[in-house]
């Protein structure tokens, strides 16, 4: 059996597992409307999407993933029962850098859950079915919860405008830190140059627009800067809590202890941490060994911008240079954005069958070497 056939056979095995677990098999089109979907992806995916122009349908793109098209279909087709489970298999397409050893097109097999009844159970089901698909591969498992960081930002004693700015940059870690530092400093001195600003007198009647921003955009930006300058800085104490939160990286049980230690200084974390604790209990009940699973508060922040809660990734221990074999997470806000206000809690994950085979191949190779050494000795 050639390599491509082996990958397809592995993909079919996983798809059948997902289907037998109660998921309906769906197949979104390879060509998707770029103008409606591209902004829903993070910067990384937007930069790597294959985009083309169609004389009848406008700007189109080769699907870079399945989740967004499936959410769009589910929210648009919503008639009666909003609860659903979907499975799918097919190629996704992402441009790579020159001389990259990563594939520009590859098979994904995925599983998505839309269910309002019990989000912790849905998180557990999604994680466990993906884990089951990977069998007994030697894996490093990493989890995170973007919802905890979002709760921390929402709990800051600062203006709504500043909170929105920080929430917007959660998926851009460097920009997030820079913005947080700016809001921790006293900005009143830096905006003195705008005192007495008036659009008409400042621009003059005959001033020409030579930059990329219009007069109204510049005016709005200055008004926002003036508002920021009047706001009290974020306290050093709250900044310290955010820093402590960002530095959490441990096995799940230890991470829970560290998170609870932050509650006296930031009570706004209580609900998010309680949900995290319930999820750990559900995973433990499902016979998941939490002592070997890593938890990093920032995990998932540089991938898909639509993840806003529980996130997870499975990595080969046989080859640390491989991309993640499987990833997934919760994306409730995406359903609200696509559903134009209607929100259905949703979570899912994807598996790459080609990477499973690569990891298996390395494991078999290592086993053969061990057997050979034992025979020689």
Helix (H, G, I), strand (E, B) or coil at 140: strand
Q: For residue 368, what pLDDT is reported? A: 37
pLDDT at residue 103 is higher than 90:
no
59 vs 51: CA distance, rounded Å: 7
Each residue's pLDDT tens digit, 44-98:
677 778 888 888 888 888 998 899 899 988 998 866 578 999 999 999 998 887 7
Degrees, nearest 5: CA angle 127-133-137: 100
243 vs 266: CA distance, rounded Å: 12
Q: What is the pTM of this model?
A: 0.84
Q: pLDDT grade, residue 218 (50/70/90)?
A: low
CB 110 within 8 A of CB 67: yes
Q: How many CB atoms lie within 10 A of CB 217?
A: 12
Assigned fold of 1-138+324-377: BirA Bifunctional Protein; domain 2 (3.30.930)
Which residue pairs from 215-219 have beta carbons closer than 8 angstroms and sit at least 24 positions apart in sequence?
A: none
Task: State both tokens at 48.
Answer: 């790597």
What is the average pLDDT across 160-188? 88
- Helices 215-230 and 160-168 cross at an angle (nearest 10°) of 110
Choose the weakest-confidence range: 171-175, 201-205, 216-220, 243-247. 201-205
Q: For residue 54, what pLDDT is reported? A: 82
Each residue's pLDDT tens digit, 122-157:
999 999 999 999 999 999 999 999 999 999 999 999
pLDDT at residue 264 is higher than 80:
yes
Q: For residue 366, what pLDDT is reported? A: 44
Domain boundaries, the chain: 1-138+324-377, 156-238
- Residue 88's alpha-carbon distances to 226, 308, 331, in angstroms, are 50, 22, 18
CB 75 within 8 A of CB 344: yes
What is the average pLDDT across 257-267? 97
Q: pLDDT grade, residue 207 (50/70/90)?
A: low
Q: For residue 197, what pLDDT is reported? A: 52
pLDDT at residue 276 is higher than 80:
yes
Burial of 202 per CB tally in 10 Å (0-12, 13-18, 19+) = middle
Q: For residue 199, what pLDDT is reported? A: 54
């Amino acid at each position: 059996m050639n390599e491509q056939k082996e990958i397809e056979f592995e993909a079919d095995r996983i798809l059948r597992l997902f289907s037998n677990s109660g998921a309906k098999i769906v197949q979104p089109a390879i060509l998707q409307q770029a103008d409606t979907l591209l902004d829903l992806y993070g910067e990384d995916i937007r930069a790597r999407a294959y985009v083309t122009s169609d004389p009848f349908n406008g700007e189109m793109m080769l699907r870079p993933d399945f989740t967004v098209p499936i959410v769009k279909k589910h929210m648009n087709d919503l008639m009666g029962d909003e609860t659903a489970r979907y499975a799918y298999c097919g190629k996704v397409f992402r441009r790579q850098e020159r001389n990259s050893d990563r594939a520009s097109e590859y098979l994904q097999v995925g599983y998505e859950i839309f269910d309002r009844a019990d989000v912790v159970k849905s998180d557990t089901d999604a994680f466990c079915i993906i884990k089951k698909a990977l069998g007994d591969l030697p894996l490093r498992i990493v989890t995170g919860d973007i919802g905890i960081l979002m709760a921390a930002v929402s709990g800051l004693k600062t203006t709504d405008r500043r909170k929105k700015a920080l929430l917007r940059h959660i998926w851009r870690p460097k920009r997030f830190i820079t913005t947080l530092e700016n809001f921790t400093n006293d900005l009143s001195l830096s905006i003195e140059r705008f005192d007495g600003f008036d659009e008409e007198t400042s621009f003059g009647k005959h001033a020409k627009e030579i930059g990329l921003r219009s007069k109204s955009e510049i005016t709005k930006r200055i008004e926002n800067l003036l508002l920021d300058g009047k706001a009290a800085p974020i306290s050093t104490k709250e900044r310290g809590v955010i820093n402590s939160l960002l530095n959490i990286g441990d096995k799940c049980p230890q991470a829970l202890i560290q998170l609870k230690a932050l509650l006296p200084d930031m009570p706004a974390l209580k609900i998010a941490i309680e949900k995290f604790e319930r999820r750990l209990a559900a995973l433990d009940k499902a016979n998941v060994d939490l002592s070997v699973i890593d938890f990093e508060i920032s995990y998932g922040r540089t991938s898909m911008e639509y993840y806003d809660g529980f996130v997870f990734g499975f990595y080969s221990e046989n080859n640390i240079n491989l991309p993640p074999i499987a990833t997934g997470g919760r994306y409730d806000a995406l359903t609200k954005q696509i559903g134009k206000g209607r929100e259905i809690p949703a979570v899912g994950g994807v598996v790459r069958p080609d990477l499973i085979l690569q990891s298996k191949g390395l494991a078999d190779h290592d086993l053969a070497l061990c057997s050979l050494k034992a025979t020689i000795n």
